[in-house]
Structure 1
Amino acid sequence: MPRFSVCVEMIFRHLPFIERLEATSKSGYDAFEFWQWQDKDIGAIAAEASRLRLKVAAFGVGPNIAGGTLVDSSNHDAYLATMRMAIEHAKRLDCQTLIVTTGNEIAGLSRAAHFDALQRGLERVAHAAAEDGVTMVVEPLNTRVDHAGYFLDHGADAFRIVREIGHPNLRVLYDIYHMQIMDGDLISTIESNIDLIGHFHVADVPGRHEPGTGEINYANVFHRIDATSYAGHVGLEYRPSGDHAASLAGVKALA
C-alpha cells in the first residue's frame, strides 16, 4: 500500500483547520499536507502534528498558483525570498518536500521564452533547496478544467525540464487527476519517470472526487506504484463525494 498523505485543504474542510489533523489521525492516517503556508499558524500545526505523531508530507511555497510566477525571470528573486521563508517553516514542521507551481502564461511571451525562464528559475530553486536538504517538487496542472492559463500543463514537459536540470533536490509532483485530463497514459508515464517523481496527488476523473468514483483504475495504479522504487507519499487531494472519513476508508480498501 502506498504511503498516503491527507490533503486537509480538501478533506475535512468543514472543520476548523487545526481540528482536521486529529480527524486525519482518527481515520487511521499518519501524514497530511496543505497548500500555502501564508495563511496558517505554523506553530499550532507543528504542536498538533507532534502531539498526534503526524508527518507533514508536503506544503506549497505559495502564495498561490497563478502568482509568484517562475516563468517571469524578473520575479525570480522575489520567488526565492518566499521560498526561503517556506523552507524555514518546513524545518519547524520537519517537512522535507515543498510544492512549486510555475505561474500563468505571460501575454506576448513565446513558449520558448517561458521555458527558458522556468528552467533558470528552477535551477535556482533546486540549488537553494539543497542548502537545507529540502526537495522541491514542481507540479504540472490541467488547463482544460481547473487552471486555465497555467503554464506547465503536461507531464512530458515537466519531466523533460527536471531531467535536463538534473538536480537531486528537484523533482516532479505527478498529479494523477490533472495528468489524466491532459495526457492519459498514466501507468506507462509513471513507470518510465519514477526516478523523477518526488510526490503524487490523486483524485478521480471526472469530478475530482475520491479514487474509485470515476474512470481511473486506481487499484491498478496503486499496485504499479507499489511495484516501483518510489518511497515518497501519495497525497489524497480530492473532494469527498460523501462522508469524508468513509471516503478515506474506501481509499485504503482500494489500495
Structure 2
Amino acid sequence: MDLSANVELLFKEAGDDHADRIRAAADAGIGIVEIWSHSDKDLVGIEKALNDTGSRLWSMLIEGRAALADASTHEGFLEQVRRASETARRLGCERIVTGSGIGFPYAKRQKQHGIVVEALKAGADIAAEQGVVIVLENLNTRVDHPGTLFDTTAECLQAIRTVGSPGLALLFDLYHSLQTGEVAEEELAGSIDLVSHVQVADLPDRTEPGTGSIDWTDRLRALRGLGYSGPIGLEYVPTTESLRSLAHIRDVAAAL
C-alpha cells in the first residue's frame, strides 16, 4: 500500500514553507501528499515543488467549515467548492474534503440530514463539472469534533448514496471511525466503491501508527480485503521526527 503524507503535520522540520515540506516528503520516498487550506499558501511554490519532484497532491480542504444543516450557509459553501475545485485542478488534485458541519439539537435529525444532502448534491454537481470529487469525511464527536452532525460512517454513506453523483465520495478516516467504536469491515461492507480515500492515526491521541492501541497489520489487511487499493493518508501528530515516525506504518504497508 502506498502512503500519503499530510504536510500540515508531517515534515515540519523542513520549515514553514509547504513546498519545502513536499520536497522533504519526496526525499523520504513519499510522492503523495495532502494539505488542508489553500488560500493561505504559496500555490506557485507548491505547484513547482509538485512538478519538480513528480509528487501528487491527493487531497485538500473546501475552506470555511460551513454548518450545512443550516441552509443559509449553502451559498457560501458552494462558492468555496468552486474556489477549491479551481485550485485543485491547477495543482492536479482530484479530491476536495468536507464534513457536514455541526448539527442543531433543537431540530429533527432527519430534517437536518436532508438539508445537508441538498448542499452536497449542489456541490457535487460543481465538483463533477470541474473534474474533481468532494470527499465527505466522517468525524468523531467524542474527542475531536463535538457537535458534528455526520459523526458516523453510516451517515456519510447514506448521504453519498442519496446524492448519487460521481462528484461525491467518502473519505474514510479510520482514526475517527475507531474513536466511535466502529469496525471498518462492518461499516464499509458492500460500500468500498464509494470510498475515495482513507486516512489513519493511532488511538488514543492521534499520534503515528505504532504508538497507540491499534493493530495496524490487522486494520490495513482488513481494508485491502474489502477491496481498497488507494494510498493510506497519514494525518497524525508525530511524537518524534517525521521520518522516524513513518517506520512502523511503512513496515506494515510493505508486508501486506
Q: TM-score, normalised by structure 2?
A: 0.92
CA-to-aligned-CA distance 1:84-129 (integer Å, 9 cap, x gap): 0111111110111111122112353321221011011111111111
Range with greater deviation from structure 2 (117-126 or 240-249): 240-249
| 2:232 equivalent in structure 1 | 234
Give distance in 1, aligned partners of 2:238 and 2:27.
17
- Indicate whether 1:211 and 2:198 are aligned: no
1:35-89 deviation line (CA, Å, top 9, x unaligned): 11121121211111111111000000113xxx32222111111111111011111
CA 1:56–1:11 in structure 2 vs 1: closer, same or farther (change >3 Å)?
same
2:94 partner letter: Q
Corresponding position: 1:22 with 2:23: yes
Stretches of structure 1 lacking an aligned partner (at least 5 in a row): none
Deviates more, 1:241-250 or 1:134-143: 241-250
Matched-pair contact (CA < 8 Å) for 1:212–1:218: yes
CA contact (8 A) 2:184 2:223 kept: no
| Root mean square deviation, CA, Å | 1.6
What aligned pairs does 1:143-154 form with structure 2 within 5 A after superposition?
A: 143-154=141-152
Query: What do the CA deviations read for 1:139-176 (whole angstroms, capped 9, x no partner)?
Result: 11011111111221111111111112221221111100
- Separation (CA, whole Å) in 1 of partners of 2:61 and 2:232: 15
1:81 equivalent in structure 2 = 79
CA distance in 1 between counterparts of 2:189 and 2:58 reads 22
Q: Does the CA-based 8 Å contact 2:185-2:226 persist in structure 1?
A: no
Tell me the equivalent position of 2:133.
135
What is the one-letter code of the residue matched to 1:13?
A: K
Partners of 2:152 and 2:248 lie apart in 1 by: 29
Contact 2:68 2:119 in 1 (8 A): yes
What is residue 5 of structure 2 aligned with on the other side? 6
Percentage of matched positions with identical amino acids: 32
Contact 2:216/2:249 (CA < 8 Å) preserved in 1?
Answer: no
3-state secondary structure, aligned to 2:12: coil
Matches within 5 A, 1:79-228: 79-106=77-104, 108-228=106-226
Please say if residues 5 and 31 of structure 1, whose CA atoms lie closer than 8 Å, have aligned partners that are also in contact.
yes
- Bigger mean CA deviation after superposition, 221-230 or 140-149: 221-230
The verdict on how the C-alpha distance between 1:174 and 1:29 changes in structure 2, with shifts beyond 3 A counting, is same
Structure 1 stretches (4+) deviating beyond 3 angstroms?
none
Counterpart amino acid of 2:54? R
Q: How many residues align?
A: 251
Structure 2 SS opposite 1:69: coil
TM-score by length of 1: 0.93
Q: Partner of 2:249 in structure 1? A: 251
Match of 1:47 in 2: 48
